[in-house]
Amino acid sequence: MTIALLLIFGFYFIFLLALLYGWERTLIQPVSNSTDFHSITVIIPFRNEEENIETLIQSLQSLNYPKEKLEIILVNDHSSDQSLKALNKLATPFLLINLEDNEVGKKAALTKGIEIAKSEIIVTSDADCKHPTQWLQSINSFFANPQTQMVVGGVTIQNSKSFFTKLQAIEWASLIGSGASLLQWHIPAMANGANLAFRKSAFLAVGGYEGNEHIASGDDEFLLRKIFKAFPNGIQFNHQLTSVVQTLPQKKIFNFFQQRFRWAGKWKHQTNGKVKLVAFVVFIFQPFFMTSFFLLGGEHQRLVSTMLLAKAGLEGIFLFRVCQFLGVRFTIIPFMMLQLLYPFYVVLTAILSLFVKSSWKGRKS
């Protein structure tokens, strides 16, 4: 058991050091100083977002980008609440389109928006988000490089005094930071559709969402891996502080797990070998981590304590650096709580996602 623990912890420590190195390299990547503005189309699909529509519109209207170079398309995915009524009251200049009866889901909404988009640069986001005023300018700077095909952006949880929200914010930071770091190692593991940009020509070249339309989640990550396969050096992470988009936290634990079950359901469709290996390393470490607690009272107490402290230290350094970028306050109590809860959460979510059907906006997946 001692040798097994040493090996597993050793591999995990190497993984953490690789993440930390990848993150630091991410922050120093060069960005063009070009003042040319590309034509950009922002596409936001929505379904039953009555509560968030007004905030979304205010956010989009405050974007600092040349109006003649900007097109914004809102795609209604069969909303059954008062979203359309709320939107019509605001009298926005944005283009609103509705999905037909035979068109259902986020990927269908994005595809329809992309088909009619006039711009070569496509930017996607979600209806429950707030966007910094310089958001599009930060994205635009990356596309000055003709080799850039996709720009992955940072997303953070909106600030709240709720302890549950603070837990989500740190856990979310781990996902954003890991995805950006792994890109530095040429591993296209994670992206978030709330802050994603790509060339329309690249989207069409890889067949868009063809082949995974039936999967409820993963519009962002499946497209990330398709474009990476076609353009291995064409993906960048947007590390500019003016680029981070804010999204809403889940208010209830039930909704939180529904979201995570939906996300986890796409992993069984994973085909990239490197991404599978990373997922395996993270998952297989959790049972060993949980087992190590039972050894704290035995003859290996000092060894296990040292390994647990080392793990917490490396993860803390990594998350602190990512939280700095995302504008998240890194606090010790939520971080230490996650140290205890995260392994059980990962194992539970992975197992239950195989049997439990998630729901989103009244739809089963």
CB-neighbour burial class of residue 297 (10 A; exposed 0-12, middle 13-18, buried 19+):
exposed
Q: At what angle do helices 83-90 and 53-61 cross, to 10 degrees?
A: 40
- Residue appearing with tokens 């040319």: 36
pLDDT of residue 69: 97
- Residue appearing with tokens 């906006």: 361
pTM above 0.85, yes or no: yes
- Residue appearing with tokens 């283009």: 95
pLDDT of residue 277: 84
Render each residue's pLDDT in the chain as its tens digit; 365 residues.
677 777 888 889 999 999 999 999 999 998 887 789 999 999 999 999 999 999 999 999 999 999 999 999 999 999 999 999 999 888 788 999 999 999 999 999 999 999 999 999 999 999 999 999 999 999 999 999 999 999 999 999 998 889 999 999 999 999 999 999 999 999 999 999 999 999 999 999 999 999 877 666 678 999 999 999 999 999 999 999 999 999 999 988 888 888 888 777 666 666 778 888 888 888 888 887 777 766 655 566 777 788 889 999 999 999 999 999 999 999 999 999 999 888 888 888 888 777 777 667 766 66
| Calpha distance 353→266 (Å, rounded) | 10
In sequence order, the 6+-apart residues with CB closer than 8 A to the CB of 345 are none
CB neighbours of residue 168 within 10 Å: 20
Question: 259: which 2 tokens?
Answer: 């979201």
pLDDT of residue 216: 64
pLDDT of residue 63: 97
- Per the CB < 8 A criterion, the answer to whether 245 and 135 are in contact is yes
| Fold classified for 38-168+187-245 | Spore Coat Polysaccharide Biosynthesis Protein SpsA; Chain A (3.90.550)
Taken in order 86, 88, 94, 95, the sign of the CA dihedral is positive
Question: 363: which 2 tokens?
Answer: 């739809």
H helix or E strand, kind and range, residue 62: none
| Calpha distance 223→206 (Å, rounded) | 8
| Calpha distance 49→52 (Å, rounded) | 5
- Per the CB < 8 A criterion, the answer to whether 281 and 11 are in contact is yes
Compute, in degrees rounded to 10, the torsion defined by CA atoms 327, 330, 127, 230: 80
- DSSP one-letter string for 71-91: EEEEEE----SSHHHHHHHHT
In sequence order, the 6+-apart residues with CB closer than 8 A to the CB of 310 are 9, 13
pLDDT of residue 187: 95
Widest distance between CA atoms in the chain: 70
- Per the CB < 8 A criterion, the answer to whether 346 and 282 are in contact is yes
Print burial letters for 25-53: b (CB count within 10 Å at least 16), e (below 16). ebeeeeeeeeeeebebbbbbbbbbbbebb
- Residue appearing with tokens 């709240």: 160
pLDDT of residue 1: 60
pLDDT of residue 349: 85
Amino acid at 95: L
